[in-house]
Copies of this chain bind each other. A is one copy, B any other.
Amino acid sequence: MNDHALPATLPETERTRHRRLREQGSLDRAELDAILGAGFVCHLGVLVDGQPMVVPTVYGSDGRTLYFHGSVASRSLVASPEATVCVTVTHVDGLVLARSVFEHGVNYRSAMIYGVPRAVTDPDEKLAGLRCLTEQAAPGQWDYARQPSRKEMAATVVLALSLAEASVKIRTGGPDDGEGPDAALGIWAGILPLTASWGAPEADPLLPTGIAPPPHISNRAHTRAG
């Protein structure tokens, strides 16, 4: 972590250059931040024994660094300390239903981040990384729940990945065949939206009676997630 702001425009590299569907690519860092801010589960791509492995895992972003837990990534990190990973965060917003099967598609927002993660060893950054991870999934929970003990901290591997190199793709809007020859077919076309939302909190059956969920949890019920 340092105090230099990352540039507002994402650098275009060989990996992040949009080869296909250029119109859907974005190099706007604000779009990246919005996509990362709307989720808490990423798909982490690592090399294990020379082959790709894609693992869903929770993350936290502070705008310049993505934090995530160890496990597969740390196993890979130990085996190949300078290995690049790819972290992808995707929100699916709906189906694009066109007149022709060929023009069908998906509305989505997706971010891909490339880099070589580092294991966080500094105790202050490790605690900040865990806080970032926790608050990304459950804002307000870090100060409400019991924070990690020294022993728990030692048992946790936190990895940090710079947000310097990233790629954003977004598709919105309806199908593209509304003005071509298929428009005369009389086939319905449009969007079927898909939304993720939080439900009402369900208490642990082992919880004693009389302990209500705190507002930072109960207020999320029936709100949009992602």
Contact = CB atoms under 8 A, between A and B. Distances in A.
Contacts of A48: 15
A164 interface: no
A12 interface: no
Interface residues of A, number: 93
A211 interface: yes
Given A106-B41, A145-B99, A202-B193, A54 B86 contact: yes
Interface stretch (A3-11, A26-34, A118-126, A130-138): A130-138
Closest A-B pairs by Cβ, 8 of them: A178-B206, A193-B199, A45-B52, A45-B54, A43-B43, A54-B88, A56-B90, A100-B146
Interface of A: 14-15, 20, 40-41, 43-49, 51-56, 58, 71, 84-88, 90, 92, 94-95, 97-102, 104, 106, 108, 110, 112, 114, 130, 134, 137-138, 141-142, 144-149, 152, 156, 174-175, 178-179, 182-183, 185-208, 211-214, 217, 220-221, 225
